[in-house]
Structure formats: C-alpha cells, structure tokens
Amino acid sequence: MFNYKNTAIHYTDTGKGNAVVLVHGFLEDASMWQKTAKELAKRYRVITVDLLGHGKSECYGYIHTMEDQADMLFALISHLRLRKISIVGHSMGGYVALAFAELYPDNVRSLVLLNASAQADSEERKINRGRAIEVVKKNSDAFIQMATRNLFDDKAHKKFKKEIAVFTTQALQTPVQGIIAALEGMKTRMDREALLHFGPYPKLMIASENDTIIPIKDIKEQVENTDVSLEIVPGGHVSTIEQFQKVLDILSAFLKKNG
C-alpha cells in the first residue's frame, strides 16, 4: 500500500529492468493485468495499480479527474524512485495515461493506449454519463451487471464465460463513490489528440475490430497524420481478455523497441 494524500493506494511491483506501468479501466482493477504483468516482469519492472476509487484503493474525492489519477500515479512512481516509465492504459486507464503524458512528459518513455480514445466525450456521451450516474445512485449492482454485460458480445459471453464471471465479481467490488467519481471524471476529461501529434515519445494504439465503446473508425481517424503505430485485433472492448495472447505479443514487440 502507498499513502497518497491520506488515501490508501494498492499497487504491485514485480520484476527488474525499465519500468512499465499498467493502468486498468473503468470498473476494473490491477488484477486484470495479472497474467500480462507476470509475462512482462521477465524483462521489465512492472507496476500495476488500483486507480482512485477502484479495487483496493480508497476514494480521494467525489470526482476523480483523469488529472487526479495522473497525479496519484506520479506520486507513486516518485515513491518507487522511478523516473521514466512506459505507460500502458486500457480504456479509462488510457485516458489517465494521456493525462499523465501531458502533465509529466519527462517521465514518459513510451505510451500505449489500449481500446482508448484521445478525444473528449461527445455531448451525447456526456448526457449518457449523467444518466448512468442516476442509475448508479439507485442500484449500483444493477448498473455494474449491465455495464459489464455490454462490454462483451454474445460470442464472447459464451467463449469467455469464466473470465467474464471473474471480471464481473471484481467489478461488483467497486464502491458507489468510486463509480460516480470515475463517471464524472471521464465526462469532464479533455481532448488530448494533440499528444498523438506532438508527444515526443513512441506511441502505440491497439484497437479492436468490434469495440462498441471505442469504435475503431474513431481510432483510425485519430492516428491519421501522426507517428502513432496502430495495431488492430479482433473482438470487443476488453481485448486483454478476448485477445490476451495477441495483445501480449503486440505489447512485448513494442516494448522491446521502446520500453
């Protein structure tokens, strides 16, 4: 545990070498990276962390902005005496990674966004976040069940029944305050497409063909005229489950050059 402004933060730290920080998404926690971290730790020092209000980390406020999460990550890596990191974020974790890269560019060795957009929420999406908050206030378990069900298509539900059950059980641990604070934080996040154009470090985006949360069309547009590498995998939003080996291979190849 690490104490960030009187807020307990849970993290793991394994392996030796250049540092790689793995950042989970909304309703997820550090355990989603367990298998990935074990593989990467053969070559790197791998840090996984529960974001504010997720997993075993406490809530810090009623809105957890992407910048709050990035400041917490910076405090954690400073505590671990790390200077440069490769930062890998899944979905909301990608939004946090972008905020970190903007606030702390000197600390970024490379940046990987997995099923994450560099754009801010559209007006329609902001309205939906507001609606989601109302549902969470009434019945957070029902919201989590619905949200996790929507992350996977029918095929995935059949194929990854066990993994999705574990995912949902873990998501159900997320406290109401943490869920609402994350929804508010995502709703008010900034557009960071400029980083894709000007971030002075190697950048990779991994997108899924059938991602209904982050449409691949948007990602293809975002990488146009940038030096961002784009890798496309089959399946839906949670590529770390649906395409575990492919994503690991892509990450390993990228980190070998840039990690």
Buried-exposed string 17-28: b where 16+ CB fall within 10 A, e elsewhere = ebbbbbbbbbbb
Q: ∠ CA 118-234-153 to the nearest 5 degrees? A: 90
Residue with smaller CB distance to ligand MLT, 44 or 140? 140
Write down the least CB distance from residue 140 to ligand MLT, Å.
15
What the block records as the tokens of 49 is 């962390």
Write down the least CB distance from residue 230 to ligand MLT, Å.
19
Beta bridge partners of 3: 8
Write down the least CB distance from residue 186 to ligand MLT, Å.
5
Ranges of H-type helices in 172-215: 176-187, 193-198
Residue with smaller CB distance to ligand MLT, 41 or 63? 63
Residue with smaller CB distance to ligand MLT, 92 or 219? 92
Instruction: Give the strand pairing for 85-90 and 2-4.
Output: unpaired
Residue with smaller CB distance to ligand MLT, 54 or 203? 54
Write down the least CB distance from residue 26 to ligand MLT, Å.
3
What number of other Cβ atoms are within 10 A of residue 139's Cβ? 12
Write down the least CB distance from residue 213 to ligand MLT, Å.
5
Residue with smaller CB distance to ligand MLT, 48 or 91? 91
Contact 5, 32 (CB under 8 A): no
Contact 87, 232 (CB under 8 A): no
Residue with smaller CB distance to ligand MLT, 41 or 213? 213
Residues 6+ apart with CB under 8 A from 123: none
Residue with smaller CB distance to ligand MLT, 44 or 167? 167
Residues 6+ apart with CB under 8 A from 179: 27, 53, 136, 140, 143, 144
Write down the least CB distance from residue 209 to ligand MLT, Å.
17
Rounded Cα distance between 20 and 85, Å, is 6
What number of other Cβ atoms are within 10 A of residue 70's Cβ? 22
Residues that bind ligand MLT in the complex, under the rule CB under 6 A: 25-26, 91-92, 186, 213
Write down the least CB distance from residue 150 to ligand MLT, Å.
9
Contact 27, 144 (CB under 8 A): yes
